[in-house]
Amino acid sequence: MSYNNSHDLCSNLNTEQDSEFTQLMDKAVARRSFLAGMGALGLGAFVATTPLAQSVQAAMKTTVHSKLMGFQPIAASTADTVVVPEGYKVSNLISWGDPIFAGAPEFDASGKAPASSQALQFGDNTDGMTLFPLADDRAVMAVNNEYTNNDLLFDHKGENMTADDVLKAQNAHGVSVFEIKKTSKGWSVDRSGKLNRRITANTPMQLTGPAAGHDLLKTSADANGIEVLGTFNNCANGETPWGTYLTCEENFHNYFGTADDSYEVPAEQKRYGIKPEDKRYKWSKFDERFDLAKNPNEPNRHGWVVEIDPMNPESKPLKRTALGRFKHENAALMVDNSGHVVVYLGDDERGEHLYKFVSKGKYDAANKSANRNLLEEGTLYVAKFSANEGELKGKGEWIELTFGKNGLTPENGFNSQAEVLIHTRLAATQVGGTTMDRPEWVAVHPNKMSACCTLTNNKNRGKKDNQPVTGPNPRAGNKYGQIVRWTPANGDHTVTEFDWDLFVIAGNPSVHKEGLLAGSSNVTAENMFNSPDGLGFDKGGRLWIMTDGKYSNKDDFAGMGNNQMLCADPETGEIHRFLVGPIACEVTGLTFTPDQKTMFVGIQHPGEKGKPSHFPAGGDSKPRSTIVMITREDGGVIGA
Ligand code: FEO
Ligand code: CA
Ligand code: CA
Ligand code: CA
């Protein structure tokens, strides 16, 4: 999510504090990385004893104090519930299987309900979402339903799939669109809302932009390469100032397979993880569209960003090929001061890349509908970071992914812009984009001066030749993750140069007393976390960080508890824990009412893989992915 589209936001910038903190961080981090080369013991001795290190910690705790965050930070938790600060309340909006249409069947916990029921209910695994206001007491929510927990969806736990089961799983994927209304009791789903809609893995949609109609997008069912059925593995999201929702197709590779032993997966598809085995979802056995031997091009029709008009339930979702094809995490869209629309995009896989799209056309604030095709045409770039040896900040450039430039030529296997976009990952490698520690969400600060991306973790870092330990990916076998921040020159997001630093390096200072595993100096025993994933700024400039990490609460992760949500002050660097989720969940998905007095947070897969959660209903109930609502007892702004 992002709230960077408005032009009237207050930035709450405190430049003096910012530079004070940055200088301290620079010194601490440079010193740490310098000493890292001398061995961990040396660094430990440094952190424990040197006056400089002590002064950095003292500065964090005394002279730097956030004016942005007003809540009492909470402790880590392993409880099977959502924990929030004193003075805050939690309630549930909707859970997997709840009806979103009047007269639709209620949730059936037996796992025996048919596909037709799921088609009328909220899908599984709530993820990215955006609230679109209709009135003070009415809004429409668009929410991704990322994937299915087959052990919960089916009584047979996915072991004895039938054609109807495959359809049921397809109906549990996609996007749920539904109206919510506010009464004296708070917000609730309006099952009679005129805009209510389920978009599933079978909803007709259209490929648009430079790759539409290319031979690689043609299938037996669609000789023109234009019409696609459905969207699935919709991870995070974005929204546009012209009122549309962006849903991002992530791990699409898991849905394809074939029983045909003679089928060879082409190298271009191997790069995207396509394999003949179809162990997880088993769709290809009952739906030929997912059989690679029968429809070898079908995977090329997925891995895109899809634009949806939530105000028109009859509208056809549009797959925007100009934004490239990869395992999209979110789409952080902002209108640059130049008027061009800039969309930052992460490709969440170990050693993949960070991207930026700049629209050809300019945003017209006076004529909303004139902006409808801004995502149709533009330039895609991949990020290349550089740093001096051992430094945790540096320079970077955006390298253009345009046919005919930077080696994207027929000699290197690229014959058109369509091929560059369909094989975006290969193009990024060709031009030398930096391999990253799994880029997840990007968020742009409302003052437009900087942007951040969560690099969630990467066990391959330092173990593969193309993933060296350097720059914004400074730890081998990175188990905790970090957040990289970049500032384009003059706040102009269309230019190709930027400066970068690491806003936070997650770590465990209780277990690791020294070195980068202890985390940056804004990580403490009180706020530690691992695997930052969801990310978003609110209007006030608070940075919200959601985690999708290890919840074992032991060894390297001791003291971190369940997955959580933190709030950070980008100016002071302070990070406070705001929310902890129930057992074995991921916290992902964030949106607010315009007054920021209700926050909607996604609790995804509580109790995954048989872990003992009964969230949200308790007792011995089946765990269900749920959107929760956070409000303040005094009715104030969340986080303030
Ligand atoms: Fe669906 Fe990368 O998280
Ligand atoms: Ca994610
Ligand atoms: Ca993740
Ligand atoms: Ca997830």
Q: Residue 543: which CATH number?
A: 2.120.10.30
Would you say the CB of residue 352 lies under 6 angstroms from ligand 1? no
Q: What ligand is nearest to the CA atom of residue 604?
A: 4
Same domain, 570 and 623: yes
Distances (CA, A) of 240 to 2, 246, 258, 259, 373: 10, 8, 38, 42, 11
Per-residue pLDDT, 64: 53
Output the six-digit token pair for 588.
């992902």
Is the distance from the beta carbon of residue 235 to the nearest atom of ligand 1 less than 6 Å? yes
Domain co-membership, 486 together with 337: yes
Task: Please indicate, yes or no, whether residues 37 and 181 belong to a single structural domain of this protein.
Answer: no
Q: Is 329 in the pocket of ligand 1 (CB under 6 A)?
A: yes
Question: What is the pLDDT at residue 24?
Answer: 40
Q: Is 527 inside a domain boundary?
A: yes
Same domain assignment for residues 558 and 486: yes
Atom of ligand 1 nearest to the CA of 235: 1
What's the CA gap between 587 and 565, in Å, rounded? 7
Query: Does residue 261 fall inside a structural domain?
Result: no
Task: Looking at the structure, tell me whether residues 54 and 127 fall in a common domain.
Answer: no
Q: Which of 63, 80, 102 is the last residue before a domain boundary?
A: 63
Q: Report CA(527)–ligand 4 centroid distance (Å).
A: 22
Centre of ligand 4 from the C-alpha of residue 589, in Å: 10
Integer Cα distance of 274 and 270 in angstroms: 5
User: Does 229 fall in a domain?
Assistant: yes
Distance CA 299, CA 230 (A): 12
319 and 457 within one domain: yes
**Within this chain, do residues 55 and 198 fall inside the same structural domain, yes or no?**
no
Residue 145 maps to a domain: yes
User: Is the domain of 42 the same as that of 122?
Assistant: no
Q: Closest ligand 1 atom to the C-alpha of 250? A: 1
Enter the tokens of residue 501: 């630093």
Backbone angles phi, psi at 429, to 5 degrees: -65, -45
Evaluate whether residue 295 is within a structural domain: no
Query: Same domain, yes or no, for 114 and 55?
Result: no
Question: Is 546 found in the same domain as 406?
Answer: yes
| Domain's final residue, options 63, 78, 113 | 63
Q: Do residues 18 and 571 touch, judged by C-beta distance below 8 A?
A: yes
639 Cα to the center of ligand 1, angstroms: 25
588 Cα: distance to centroid of ligand 3 (angstroms): 9
Q: Is residue 134 part of a domain?
A: yes
Residues 56 and 129 in one domain: no
Task: Say if ligand 1 is within 6 A of residue 538 CB.
Answer: no
Locus of tokens 């504090």: 17
Instruction: From residue 47, give the alpha-carbon distance in Å to each of 29, 44, 389, 627.
Output: 11, 5, 21, 42
Residues 101 and 45 in one domain: no
- Distance (Å, whole) CA 471 – CA 478: 13
307 lines ligand 1 (CB under 6 A): no
Domain total in the chain: 2
Q: What is the mean pLDDT of each run of 10 residues along the chain (640 residues)?
A: 34 36 42 33 29 34 73 98 98 98 98 98 98 98 98 97 98 99 97 98 98 98 98 98 98 98 98 95 97 98 98 98 99 98 98 98 94 98 94 97 98 98 99 98 98 98 97 98 96 97 98 97 98 98 98 98 98 98 98 98 98 98 98 98
Find the DSSP H helices in 197-286.
267-270
| 13 lies in some domain | yes
User: Residue 558 is encoded by which pair of tokens?
Assistant: 């001791």
Contacts of 234 (CB under 8 A, 6+ apart): 127, 128, 144, 145, 146, 173, 174, 175, 247, 248, 249, 250, 306
Question: Is residue 440 lining ligand 1, measured as CB closer than 6 Å?
Answer: yes
Residue 292, in any domain of the structure:
no
Place of tokens 């770039």: 381
Range of the domain at 56: 3-63
Q: Is the CB of 586 under 6 A from ligand 1?
A: no
Confidence at residue 52, expressed as pLDDT on a 0 to 100 scale:
32
Q: Which of 274, 254, 260, 222 is nearest to 423 (CA)?
A: 274
Q: Is the CB of 348 under 6 A from ligand 1?
A: yes
Q: Which residues are near ligand 2, the ion (C-beta closer than 5 Å)?
A: 440, 533
